[in-house]
């Protein structure tokens, strides 16, 4: 492992522990040349997943792109970075466990919405508005109505 400080390849492992619910190993290392301490993660190598975009283009699955989109949707909510990482880990695990290695971007978007629906309604609406390409208030209203339909008894108690 190359030291991020001096680029030396000799280091020793100070500590190892399971991370990401057992899906990776976190190792604390120390460079034998400059004594710089750094963290590495070890994951099982998996076959790449190809994402089929709406335009018909294909690209490799990029977890950072998903994290970025989720982070924008979750800005100024109570959803922290570790929760976003957990959601992306869950989605990535589900994709790798699937039989198909070509997945439509629409399916990934729906997986994200499934996770956000139970966590935070604001983040759900924000992500849905970009992912589903809302064109106006009617699109927002349809999504809001499907998110939590109010029963007459619930509505009466609010008034």
pLDDT digits (tens, 9 = 90+) for 103-132: 999 899 999 988 988 888 888 888 888 877
Residue 11's pLDDT is what?
96
Mean pLDDT of 19-36: 90
Three-state DSSP state, 13: strand
Mean pLDDT of 77-88: 90
Phi, psi of 118 (to 5 degrees): -90, -15
**d(Cα 48, Cα 62) in Å, to the nearest integer?**
10
Residue 46's pLDDT is what?
72
Three-state DSSP state, 43: strand
Task: Name the residue with higher pLDDT: 13 or 100.
Answer: 13
Mean pLDDT of 68-97: 90
Q: What angle is formed at CA 76 by the lines to CA 78 and CA 88, rounded to 5 degrees?
A: 60
pTM as predicted: 0.60
Total Cβ atoms within 10 A of residue 136? 7
Residue 149's pLDDT is what?
56
Sort 127 into a burial class: Cβ within 10 Å, 0-12 / 13-18 / 19+: buried
Task: Name the residue with higher pLDDT: 148 or 20.
Answer: 20
């Amino acid at each position: 492992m190359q030291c991020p400080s001096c680029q030396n390849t000799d280091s020793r492992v100070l500590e190892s522990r399971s991370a990401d619910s057992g899906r990776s190993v976190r190792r604390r290392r120390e460079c034998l040349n400059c004594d710089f301490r750094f963290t590495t993660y070890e994951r099982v190598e998996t076959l790449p997943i190809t994402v089929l975009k709406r335009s018909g283009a294909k690209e490799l699955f990029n977890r950072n792109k998903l994290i970025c989109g989720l982070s924008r949707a979750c800005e100024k909510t109570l959803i922290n970075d570790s929760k976003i990482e957990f959601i992306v880990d869950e989605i990535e695990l589900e994709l790798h466990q699937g039989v198909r290695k070509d997945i439509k971007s629409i399916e990934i978007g729906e997986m994200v919405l499934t996770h956000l629906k139970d966590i935070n309604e604001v983040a759900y609406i924000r992500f849905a508005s970009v992912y589903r390409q809302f064109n106006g208030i009617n699109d927002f209203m349809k999504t809001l109505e499907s998110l939590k339909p109010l029963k007459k008894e619930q509505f009466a108690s609010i008034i």
